[in-house]
Amino acid sequence: MAPRQASSSRDYYEADSLFNDISDRLRRRMPRFDEDRLRSAYELAISAHDGQLRKDGSPYIIHPLEVAEICMDLEMDADSIIAAILHDVVEDTSVRLNQIRQLFGNDVANMVDSLTKIKKIDFFARFTGRNKASNQARNLQKLFVAMTNDYRVIVIKIADRLHNMKTLGSMPEHKRTRISRETLEFYIPIARRLGLGTVTSELEDLVFQFLYPEEYASLKKQVSTYFHEHEQKIQDMVSAARTLLERNGIGVSSIYGRSKHLWSIHQKMELQGVGIDGIYDLLAIRIVIAGQEIDCYRVLGLIHSRWKPIFERFRDFVASPKENGYQTLHTTVIGPGGSWVECQIRTDDMDYEARQGIAAHWSYKEKPQLARIVKDESWLEFIRELSEDDVNSEEFVARTRESLHGDQVLVLSPRGEVVNLPLGSTPVDFAYYIHTNLGHSIRGARVNGNHVSLNYELRNGDVVEVIKAREENAAPRPEFMMMVKSPKSMLKIRKYFKAASRDERITAGRTLLRQLITGQGLYPLNLMANDKLALLLKTMKVRSIDEMYGKIAIGEFETGTIISELKKIHRSRAEQGPLKTKQSEAERQQRRVSQLSGIGYELGLQLSGGQLMRSRTEIRSCCTPVPGDNIYGVHNRAERMVYIHRLDCPRLQVDLREGSLVETEWTGKTEDKRYPARIRIHSLNRVGLLFEVLRFLSENHINLGGAEFSSSPSAFAADEMAKFDLTVEVADVNELKQVMEVIMQIEDVSAVERALPEETPTDPEPGS
């Protein structure tokens, strides 16, 4: 904005007129306000902006005065009006914040500071990676954080954005598009959340006009024509309704016909895939009564007695207010000529709050005044917690955007409290909404009196009861991150793990990744093999697998991306085919079972006597030892690897030819790990036997790592038994025994045993 000298006689006549109007309106509403203080703010602003013009050629001072007018419409206090007049002086002129603080006090200065954009890009931007986009994110973050301390800041900013949108036509097209999209993504949802109904509707239609000008012009013409054609019917209905209510002793403040807002109609047309003829509730009347809540239901009964209702379109926002406190009865009836007409029924107080929202509560520092907007307080608590989290501005803005958008579901606590959650939320979200500790300790839930799983999707009207863990200070389970829908819930879970110990974070991250892989029907043993994770680390900014798990637990890494990359690595290696090496047939057989490899202590192993085992280690797949088995290690110095075998494994002696014996044992700290164990099943071969075994494994959440059929009966060998090997993942030898015992109970199974190589393999012949 290049400064240019303006003609003061012409330019400031309009400014003086605007200021006098603001002053007169404020005096009528607040007879004792300090008029000299308001005039001082105006004189400072007009002096500071002297010579500055907006893109449309108007004096810049007109903009802050128009913003102050909008704030007057919202009945804001005197300090807010002064801050609106001064909101751009620190950003665009030589006036400094200390000067404002000295002249108008801390409240005004703090609001102006919060409304001042961060304009300067760091001198070291090339090293920090900051650019214009990240600067914009920092501005939004600054604004949102300030909003949590003082509602007035965001309302002034919304008023500022409304006037900017009204004058957006003079801006270049790319700026119109950027500003309109930002308004749609952030300012409109916040205005709606704060209950600023009139401002929200104005912003929506302005955004529609600039983002989709052709559709806007076409729809505006169609709606105008439609409303004009039905205007007389609506007037007849308004007149009949007024007579009906007054005859029955209902005090009517106003009844008037109205058409739906254009953006709302456009969204319905897009969602339903229909033209304007497919929207049945274009017409509406609003009934505002001088009475109490109970009188709204009396009006509803009278309207339904006069016009036939369409019951599936009835919504009661009086008993169950919207998240922003909005209260109105919505019902659709068949009006004159068979037209569908939506009737909105509310009291004077409801009407005032529907238009003004939070602006109806400007003595907001008195806590009782906040009772009706407790849901907004909950959302602001999320912003506060997010601001305390160690996230960059872009992530902060992304999470805030996520919290603002999406449909909602209304559920009830056992005491009847209405809780508003994102669509798709679960009992875990509900628990975290009530209290952080309740979320951490949820272990079960009842919905409408029936036990449900924790990932049950809540529906409108559900009554939710939380079943807590018995222990005090219970920790959230890693799988909670897979269950929650609300950004606020996710933030609280990640915040817990961020404050937890390193081992707890590693365990949570590993468990979460494993469960997500399993949830996709894949095998963690395949994707989470250490050699594949090592390849993955080359593309990530971490030094170890454990560090990656820790960052997964606190949300710094996107698990979907990690799983996608592991799939690529797995697919690439599978497509390369088996390596052509001089392996014996027995070795090739054993390689069909996934092997665990890594640092010894990470696999739950230690040297005899409790000494930490830091060697590269592989748990051999020929005998698949698991915790609880008696084991020995063989140190192969050429390969710098310790191989772990069960004592009864035939291949132990083969490995000893090339290495030395190492006495090893399990550490006992393996509760978070799963180990592959191969079992051999002998049975009659009948249809459905394998299916029964696999169903048992699935129902008990036991992963299947592989399967191999050794022999089966046929027409040429009718006396043979079926024999097949399965590789299952278990925590220890006790769990493995339980698995084997249950499989043994399946009809026609004759034996279940630990699988070992059929015979001691010999070394391959040279050149074989």
CA dist., res. 198 & res. 300, Å (int): 24
φ, ψ of residue 381 to 5 degrees: the values are -60, -40
**Catalytic site residue from 91, 402, 417, 748:** 91
Evaluate the CA torsion angle 315, 321, 322, 324 in order and state its sign: positive
The edge-to-edge listing of strands for the beta sheet with 664-666 is 611-612, 605-607, 664-666
CA dist., res. 362 & res. 263, Å (int): 29
Which amino acid is located at 150 in the chain? D
Contacts of 307 (CB under 8 A, 6+ apart): 237, 333, 334, 335, 341
Residue 426 contacts residue 456 (beta carbons within 8 Å): yes
Catalytic site includes residue 465? no
Catalytic site includes residue 692? no
Q: Which two tokens stand for residue 106?
A: 């801390």
* DSSP summary character for residue 51: T
Evaluate the CA torsion angle 731, 737, 738, 740 in order and state its sign: positive
Q: Which of 626, 144, 723 has its CA nearest to residue 379?
A: 144
Residue 154 contacts residue 188 (beta carbons within 8 Å): no
| CB-neighbour burial class of residue 710 (10 A; exposed 0-12, middle 13-18, buried 19+) | middle
**Catalytic site residue from 14, 50, 75, 92:** 92
Residue 563 contacts residue 520 (beta carbons within 8 Å): yes
- 646 forms bridges with which residues in the sheet? 631
CA dist., res. 725 & res. 728, Å (int): 10
CA dist., res. 115 & res. 143, Å (int): 7
Contacts of 106 (CB under 8 A, 6+ apart): none
Evaluate the CA torsion angle 735, 738, 744, 746 in order and state its sign: negative
> DSSP for 499-512?
HS-HHHHHHHHHHH
Q: Which two tokens stand for residue 759?
A: 């015979």
How many Cα neighbours within 13 Å face the side chain of 443? 9
The three-point CA angle 176-177-180 to 5° equals 80
216 in helix, strand or coil?
helix
Contacts of 30 (CB under 8 A, 6+ apart): 77, 78
Positions marked catalytic:
91-92
